[in-house]
Amino acid sequence: MKLPASAIPNIDRRIAATLLYLCLLGSALVFAILGQFDLAAMRAEGEAKTALLTRLSRANLASAASDTRQPMSNPFVTAETATTAAAEIDRLIRAIAAKAGGTVLSTQATSETSNAPVRRIDVQAVIEGNLEIIQRVLFNLEAGSPMIFIDDLTLIKAERRSGRTDVAQSPHLQANVAMNAFWRSKQ
């Protein structure tokens, strides 16, 4: 039995519609399966971040109790000259970094040349350490007295100087930190 010519396009349309429906259903299934893998990866990343945040919070509480800086009494660096004020800021940065386990590679300070009673000192420092050390240094720089403000921070993965490569350890970083403080003459 031969089908009329007008019936063939309807059969083709039904087959095409069924195939299209199956393709869409298959695509949705594939995306759902891939989404589960993505969801699991996001969950694992969230748990890792939570663990890191917990570790950093505990480290901050421990380091805040034994901070090398004076309690918040004077927000200014008090010194005779801009040079001695810059040297005091350099000493503070190096002491805080050493206590946290980091290394200060360099510092450079510039100060305003005005005759204002309070003047700004800009400091550029390069500090090395892992993420926890850099975070602890930045926290202690901003949390104590005199007040030091972080203007800019650039983190670069640094090469380890020692020969050991511990995969479980956080990466060794070099932090380029632009900061400023204000000084007032003792006079």
- Residue 131, pLDDT score: 92
How far apart are alpha carbons 141 and 55 in whole angstroms? Answer: 19
User: Considering the domain boundaries, does residue 31 fall inside one?
Assistant: no
User: Considering the domain boundaries, does residue 39 fall inside one?
Assistant: no
How far apart are alpha carbons 111 and 87 in whole angstroms? Answer: 12
Residues of the chain with pLDDT under 70: 1-11, 35-37, 39, 56-73, 160-169, 187
User: Considering the domain boundaries, does residue 35 fall inside one?
Assistant: no
Q: Tally the domains of the chain.
A: 1
- Residue 70, pLDDT score: 47
Full-model pTM: 0.59
User: Considering the domain boundaries, does residue 22 fall inside one?
Assistant: no
Residue 79's DSSP bridge partners are 185
Q: How many residues does the chain have?
A: 187
Determine how many CB atoms are found less than 10 A away from the CB of residue 86.
22
User: Considering the domain boundaries, does residue 125 fall inside one?
Assistant: yes
Range of the domain at 141: 67-185
User: Considering the domain boundaries, does residue 51 fall inside one?
Assistant: no
- Residue 121, pLDDT score: 93
Tell me, what CATH number does 138's domain have?
A: 3.30.70.60
User: Considering the domain boundaries, does residue 16 fall inside one?
Assistant: no
Contact yes or no for 127/158 (Cβ under 8 A): no
- Residue 175, pLDDT score: 96
